[in-house]
Amino acid sequence: MTATETYKVGARSGVGVSSQRPDAVPKATGEFSFSSDLSSHNMLWGKTLRSPHPSARIRNIDYSEALAISGVHAILTASDVPGKNLFGLEHPDQPVLADDIVRYAGEPIALVAAEHPEIAADAISRIHVDFEVLNPLVDAESAVTADPIHPEGNVIRHLVIDYGDPTSSGDVTVEGTYEVGMQDQAFMGTESGMAVPSPDGSVDLYISTQWLHSDQNQIIEALNLPEDMVRLTLAGVGGAFGGREDVSMHVHLCMLALHTGRPVKMIYDRNESFLGHVHRHPAKIWYRHHANKDGLLVKVEGKIILDGGAYASTTSAVLANACCFSTGPYKVDNAQIEGWGVRTNNPPCGAMRGFGNVQTCFAIEAQMDKIASALDIDPVELRLKNALEPGDQIITGQKITGAAPVKEVISSLADHPMPEPAINDLLARPGGTGRTTDQKHVKRGVGFAVSIKNLMFAEGFDDSSEALCEVNDGSVAIHTACVEVGQGFVTLVHQIAEEVLGVSDITVIPADTSIGSAGSTSASRQTWMSGGAVLKACEAVVVNLIEQIAEEEGVKYENLDGALVSEDGTKTIPIAEALRGRSFQEKVVHRHAPTFPLDEKGQGNAHVSFAFAAHRAVVDVDQELGLVRVVEIATSQDVGRILNPIQAVGQIEGGITQGLGLAVLEELVMKNGVIQNANFTDYLLPTALDTPPIEIASLIEEPEPGAPFGAKGIGEPPTISSTPAVVAAIRDATGLDLRRVPVRPEDIALE
Amino acid sequence: MIMEVLIASSAEEICELLGQDNSRQLLAGGTDFMVEVNYRHRSPSSVIAIDRVPELRNWHHDGDSVVIGSCVTYREIERGPLATLVPALAQAARTVGSPQIRNAGTIGGNIGTASPAGDMIPVLSALGAEVSLRSSEGKREISLDDLIVGVKQTSLGQGEFIESVRVPVLESPQEFLKVGSRSAMVISVTSLALITYPKTQSVGIGLGAVNPRPTRARQAEEFIKDFLNWESMQVDPSGLDHFKELVSEASRPIDDHRSIAAYRRHSIGVLAQRALTRIFSERSPSV
Amino acid sequence: MSKVTQDHLNVNGTKFTIDDSWLGESLLYTLREQLGLYGSKNACEQGECGSCSILLDKALVCACLVLTGSAIGRDIKTIESLAPEGSLSVIQQAFVDAGAIQCGFCTPGLLVTIEDFLDDNAEPTELEIREAISGNLCRCTGYGRIVEAVRIASKASTDTQGTADDGN
C-alpha cells in the first residue's frame, strides 16, 4: 500500500472500508458551520485585553474611558469572576483574569463586550493598566532553583525512573545534549465561540474544543454555577492537535454573556490565537547511552527538562510521557532517568500531538545513530537488534502484553524502494521559488527513525466514554460527547453502527454535555474509547433485540455476522430487518483496562497500550546556504487494524507534515519571554511546496487485544519519528551534528 | 476607523483628492495596508483606492526602457510580456507571497512600503530604476535608491504619490535569487539581483533584506569587471572569493526573528557568486 | 471620481445593498458577518493562509486584504458560487472522493484557488499543483490527498473535454 496509489471514498460503509465523511459535502460547499460562523440576533462581540509583559504586577486598571465609548456594554476584570478565579486542565493554578500578577506575555487581564469588533478593539486600547514591570524568569534550567514565580513553586513535577542496575556500563558510550524549540499546533480555525445566556441565569456555550466535560468542570467552578446551568455544545472545530485541550475563552464568554444578558461571540485573530493556547514544551535533553560491542543497549542515562511556561496545564503528564518512553522503542535493562517540568514566565505549554514523546524521540534517535556510527553498524540493523518485542518490559517495569510489531515496522520500511533523483527543476530543489540552488549544490541524505507512543490516558486516570444508541424503526441515532476535530470520528460512528446493526440510516447527534464525558480527543484514544462505547451501545441494542424476539416468538436467536440465526438454524433475519418497527435506547460507559500511578522509582503499569512507527526521510541539502528540501518521507506504522483506509492515510500524511515542520521550519521564537513571530508571516507552516510525497511502505495490522476491532490509535505516531528522520537525513547529507530542532539555515551553513 | 472610501478614476483625481487632504491614505493592492488595518496598526479615516486608475494599471515600452504603472500587479510582472522584457523582476515577483497576494499586490506598493525585504527593491536598484512621482504641484523623477531613505521610509513629499517606475530593457542575462526558510510564500532572509550590462561590460548588483535602504554592491561590481570575458561569457574564478567578500561587506544586516546577521552576510555573498556563475561560466585563466 | 456612499456589492451574481458603515471593513468581514456568507474562512487576516480566497473580477485574492469600499462595483465570487445548490463542482466532488477534507477549515479557500488554477492549466504537473496551492495552508492533511484531488479533477475535466471533442 502506498499513498500515491489512488484511494477513492466508497459509498459502502462498515468497518474497514474508506467510507465517506458525513460532513465532507457541507465542508466542500462551505455550508459547514464552524465555531467562528455562529451568529445570533442581538449578539455582542467579546475581546480580551492581554498583558504585554511576561512578568509584572498590576497596580491599577482604569477602564473608565473605555466604558464610556458608545457601543461598549461591559468591561470585566478579575473582581468580576463570580466563582474561583482559577482554572487548569490537570489542576487549577491559572487565573481566569489576572488579578495582581501577570506571569506570561499574553495573559488575559480584562474583557470587553461591544456592538462591533472594531468598537471592542477600540475599547481594549483605552483600558489603562498600570504595570510594575518585573524581571521575567525565562530560563527553564535556572527555574528549578530560582525564586518561585507562582505560589505552587517552579517545579511542576520532578520524576525519577530508576530501573535495573545503576552501576552497569557498556563497551561504548555516546553522549549528547539536545534541544527542541517551541512548536505550535497552529490549527487553521482560531479559537472562537458564542455564549448565550438564559433568563434563569444559566448559559449555553457553543465552542470549539477537544473535551467538553473538562471545560464544563472548569467553567462551573469559575462561574460558581451548578453543572446543569452551564451547558456546552460542540461548534465546528477547525483542527486542534492538542491546542484546544485547555480552556481559552470559555469562561470569558460565559461571564460576558451572563453580565450583559446578550449572546456574545468571540474570535481570536491569529496573533491572539498564538497567545491564547498552550504550545509544545521546549525541551533540553541530555543522554548517555551505553551499548556493548555488538550494539545491544546496556543502559540509558538521561536528564530531561521541559519548560512548562507560566501555568501547569498538562506539563505533569507530558513529562511522564517524556520520561517513560525516554529509551524509545528499544529494549534496555538499565535506565536512570530524571525529568523536570518547570514553571517559567514563558507562555504556558501543554498538549500537542505526540505529547512528550516528540521531544525525547528526537534525542533518542540521534543517540542511536551515534551508537551505530561508533560501532560501525548499519543504523537500521542497530534498531532491529534492540527493538522491543511482545513480552518485553519498558523501563517503568511494565510488560508489553499487546501487539508490538516493532521489527516488522522497521524491516518493512527498510525494504521499501528509495525515491528517484529529483526532477531537474529549480522549484524542486532547496530554496524553491527563490531559485537559489543549482543541481551541483545539492547533496542527498537519508535518515531513519523509530518511535513508541502510549495510547490513551495514563497513571491511574479513570478514563471513560459514554455512548447512546437510539433505534427508531430502523433508523439509528448515536450520541456521544466525543469531539470531532477533523480526524474523522463521525465517519467511524457510521461505520461501527452499520457494521453492528446493518443499518445505513444513521444520525450522529451533536456532541454536548447532555450525555456523559467522552474524555478528550487526544492521546490517540477516541477510536478505542468512544468508538468502543459506540460499539458496545450498538451491541447492547442487539442483545435487547434478541431478548425481545425471544419473548415474542419463544425462539432463541444468535447474532452471527450481522444476522440473527434461530437456535435450530432454520431462520435467519438480518439485524436491520429485525429492527424495523422497534425502538431501543441503550446507553453504555466504556472503560479501558485500569492503569496505575508510577511509584517513587518511576515503576508501575501506568499505560494501556503502545503503538510504533518508523520513518525514513530523504532530503536534498544545499549545505553552503543551509537550505533543505525534503524529497520524500516513507513510513511503516503499527495500526492494529485499519478501520477506514483513506482516513488512516490522511492522519499519517498530516502527522508527518507536522513532524517535518518541527524538523526544519516551525518555532515560536522567544525573546525575553515574548513571542517574536505570533503570526503566519513568520511562524512558518509547511506549504504544499515544502511537503514531499508521503510513501506508506506498510501498515502492520496485528490486532490489539482489548481494543475495539483490534484498532490502535494512529494519530500521533506519524508526528513523532518523522522529525528525527528528517534531521538524521540532513546529518547524513552534511556530516553535521545538529542537536537542535528546528534546524535553521544558519545551523547548517555557518557550521 | 475608516469613514470614507474614495475611488479614484485618474491620476489627476488622486492629485486633487490629496490636495484637499493629504492625510488621506492611498490603497493599491492592499496586501500590506489591509494587514495593518486588520491588526489595527493603522486606522486612517479616509482612503483613496487607486487600483482602478488606468494610467497606473498599465505599462508601456518607451524606447530602450519600459514604464510600469505603479498599480501593475506582481502577477502581471511574473507572467506575460513583462517577464520577457525584465526577467529578474519576473523572477522576484514569483517569490512574493502567494498567488493570491501576487494578484493583488503592486510594484508601486512594494516601492512605497519601502521594506528592506521588499522583493522588487534589489532588482529595481540593480536596474537603476527611476521612479516617477506626481502631486498637484506637478511631476518629478527620482532614482529608486534616492526615493527610499530608510526602513519603511521614503522621500515622498506631502500629497505626492508614485505614478510609475522606469527600467531599462536590456535583452541580456539577469538573475534574482532569494533565500527564505520556506520553499514558497516567505519573506526574504536575503535576496540579490544581478543584472548584466553588455554595453558597458559591467554588472549591477542589488542587495535585499540586508540594509535599511536599497543598496548596490558597487565595489564588487567594479572589482569583478576585470574578471569577466564578455565574448565567451566566462568569469575567471580567481576573482570569485574576493567578489563574494565584497558583496558581503556591502551588507549591514541585523539579527531578528527571521535570521541572524552572520547568516545574512554569508548568504548574500553566496547568492552573488551563484548569480554570477549562472551567467558567466567559470574558467581558469591558465586554461 | 466617485466617493463611495450607500451602494451595493455584486456577490455571486446577486446585488447586496450595503450600509455606509461597512465600507471601511475588510471584505471578508462584510461577506461573513454582514451578508452571512460564512463559507470564506478567517484564519489569519493577513493574506498568509488563503482560507478566505475569493475571485474579485476573476482574480484570485484574499478577501481579508480587500477593503469593502474598494470592492464596490466589482464582480465577487465566493465558495458559495462554485456549484448550484444541491450539487458539487468537479473539484468539490474530487475533494470528497479523494479524502482531501479533514477539519475542512482550509477547504473552501483551496477549492476556490484550485477552480481558478485549473481554468488556466487543465493538465498541471505535480510541482505546478503544489506551487499553485502554496498560498493555501492546510494543517490537517499534509496536502497529499489534496494534490490527489486536483489530479482527479484535472483528469475528470480533460476526460469530459475529450468526449465533447469526439462528439464534434
Report yes or no: A663 and A619 within 8 Å, Cβ to Cβ.
no
A199 Cβ contact partners less than 8 Å away, ≥ 6 residues apart: none
Report yes or no: A163 and A334 within 8 Å, Cβ to Cβ.
yes
Provide the pLDDT for residue B2.
83
Distance between CA atoms of residues B278 and B274, nearest Å: 6
Provide the pLDDT for residue A12.
56
β-pairing, A349-350 with A279-280?
Answer: parallel
Using beta carbons and an 8 Å cutoff, which residues of B are at the interface with A?
1, 38-40, 91, 94-95, 175-189, 191, 256-260, 262-263, 266-267, 270-271, 274, 278
Maximum pairwise Cα distance, chain C: 54
DSSP state string for B147-160: HEEETTEE---TT-
B257 and B189 in a single domain? The answer is: yes
Report yes or no: B144 and B129 within 8 Å, Cβ to Cβ.
yes
β-pairing, B4-7 with B46-49?
Answer: parallel
B17 and B140 in a single domain? The answer is: yes
Distance between CA atoms of residues A286 and A421, nearest Å: 37
Within an 8 Å CB–CB cutoff, is residue C34 touching chain A? no
Report yes or no: A578 and A543 within 8 Å, Cβ to Cβ.
no
Distance (Å) of CA A567 to CA A501, A558, A571, A701: 20, 7, 8, 34
Of B40, B182, B278, the CB nearest to A690: B182
Report yes or no: B134 and B50 within 8 Å, Cβ to Cβ.
no
- Please compute Rg for chain A using Cα positions: 27
A629's grid cell? 528540501
Domain C-terminal end among B146, B168, B190: B168
Q: What distance, in Å, lies between the first and last C-alpha atoms of chain A?
A: 40
B268's grid cell? 548574500
Give A684-715 as a 3 state SS string: CCCCCCCCCCEEEEEEECCCCCCCHHHCCCCC
Distance between CA atoms of residues A29 and A31, nearest Å: 5
The C-alpha cell 508526528 sits at A719
A362: closest CA among A542, A174, A615?
A615
Q: Count CB-CB contacts under 10 A for residue A286.
A: 15
pLDDT of C165 over the 70 cut = no
Distance between CA atoms of residues A558 and A545, nearest Å: 10
Provide the pLDDT for residue C7.
81
Distance between CA atoms of residues A345 and A105, nearest Å: 8
The domain C90-162: what is its CATH number?
Answer: 1.10.150.120
Of A24, A681, A688, the CB nearest to C133: A688
In single-letter form, the type of residue at position B150 comes to G
Chain C residue at shortest CA distance from A41: C33
How many angstroms separate the CA of residue B101 from the nearest CA in chain C? 7
List CB contacts (< 8 A) between B266 and chain A.
749-750
Q: Count CB-CB contacts under 10 A for residue B285.
A: 11
Report yes or no: A327 and A300 within 8 Å, Cβ to Cβ.
yes
- Please compute Rg for chain B using Cα positions: 19
Domains contained in chain B, number: 2
Report yes or no: A46 and A260 within 8 Å, Cβ to Cβ.
no
CATH of C7-78, one of 1.20.1250.20, 3.10.20.30, 3.40.50.150, 3.90.280.10: 3.10.20.30
Domain C-terminal end among B168, B189, B212: B168
Give A397-442 as a 3 state SS string: CCECCCCCCHHHHHHHHHCCCCCCCCCCCHHHCCCHHHCCCCHHHE
The C-alpha cell 570569485 sits at B240
Dihedral angle, C-alpha A125, A126, A127, A130, nearest 10 °: 90
All CATH 3.10.20.30 domain ranges in chain C, comma separated? 7-78
Kindly indicate whether the domain formed by A411-453+610-751 is annotated with CATH number 3.40.720.10: no
Within an 8 Å CB–CB cutoff, is residue A684 touching chain B? yes
Question: Is A411-453+610-751 the same fold as A36-135+209-224+238-267?
Answer: no
Chain C residue at shortest CA distance from A353: C140
Distance between CA atoms of residues A129 and A123, nearest Å: 13
> What stretches in chain A show pLDDT beneath 70?
1-13
| Any domain includes B237 | yes
Distance between CA atoms of residues A287 and A360, nearest Å: 10
Q: Count CB-CB contacts under 10 A for residue B61.
A: 11
DSSP state string for A345-364: SSPPEE--TTTTHHHHHHHH
Of C126, C135, C145, the CB nearest to A653: C145
Provide the pLDDT for residue C1.
52
Distance (Å) of CA A406 to CA A139, A294, A637, B78: 37, 20, 9, 50
| Any domain includes B287 | no
- Cα-to-chain-centroid distance, residue A394: 23
B162 and B253 in a single domain? The answer is: no
Best interface-test mutation with C: which of A188, A270, A680 has the largest number of C CBs within 10 A? A188
Quickly list H helices, A438-514. 489-501
Provide the pLDDT for residue C3.
59
Distance between CA atoms of residues C37 and C44, nearest Å: 18
Read off the pLDDT of residues A1-55 as tens digits, 9 standing for 90 and up.
444 444 556 555 689 999 999 999 999 999 999 999 999 999 999 999 999 999 9
Q: Count CB-CB contacts under 10 A for residue C168.
A: 4
How many angstroms separate the CA of residue C138 from the nearest CA in chain B? 14
| Any domain includes B141 | yes
C57: left (phi over 0), alpha (psi -120 to 50) or beta: left
A398's grid cell? 511494565
Q: With an 8 Å Cβ cutoff, are A125 and B40 in contact?
A: yes
Quickly list H helices, A393-514. 406-414, 489-501
List CB contacts (< 8 A) between A654 and chain C.
102, 139-142
Of A427, A686, A746, the CB nearest to B260: A746
Q: What distance, in Å, lies between the first and last C-alpha atoms of chain B?
A: 69
3-state secondary structure of C12: coil
3-state secondary structure of A563: strand
Range of the domain at B218: 174-282
B104 and B179 in a single domain? The answer is: no
A686's grid cell? 509547511
- The chains found to touch A (3+ Cβ pairs under 8 angstroms) are B, C
A703 phi and psi angles, rounded to 5 deg: -55, 140
Kindly indicate whether the domain formed by A464-591 is annotated with CATH number 3.30.70.260: no
B59 and B147 in a single domain? The answer is: yes
Report yes or no: A434 and B268 within 8 Å, Cβ to Cβ.
no
β-pairing, C53-56 with B281-282?
Answer: unpaired
Provide the pLDDT for residue B284.
75
Q: Count CB-CB contacts under 10 A for residue A422.
A: 18
Domain C-terminal end among B141, B168, B195: B168
Distance between CA atoms of residues B153 and B165, nearest Å: 18
A560 phi and psi angles, rounded to 5 deg: -120, 105
Helix (H) or strand (E) holding A290: strand A283-291
Q: Based on the number of CB atoms within 10 Å of its own CB, is A625 exposed (0-12), middle (13-18) or buried (19 or more)?
A: buried
DSSP-derived letter for residue A78 is: G
**Partners of A160 in beta bridges:** A338
Of B13, B16, B47, the CB nearest to C67: B47
Distance between CA atoms of residues C141 and C154, nearest Å: 20
- Cα-to-chain-centroid distance, residue B50: 20
Distance between CA atoms of residues B93 and A433, nearest Å: 10
Provide the pLDDT for residue C163.
47
**Partners of A622 in beta bridges:** A442, A627
List CB contacts (< 8 A) between B260 and chain A.
746
Report yes or no: B215 and B205 within 8 Å, Cβ to Cβ.
no
Q: What is the CATH number of the domain that holds B149?
A: 3.30.465.10
The domain A36-135+209-224+238-267: what is its CATH number?
Answer: 3.90.1170.50
β-pairing, B202-208 with B215-216?
Answer: antiparallel
Distance between CA atoms of residues B136 and A175, nearest Å: 71
Distance (Å) of CA A129 to CA A45, A49, A108: 22, 10, 12
Distance between CA atoms of residues C144 and A652, nearest Å: 10
List CB contacts (< 8 A) between C18 and chain B.
none
> What stretches in chain B show pLDDT beneath 70?
285-287
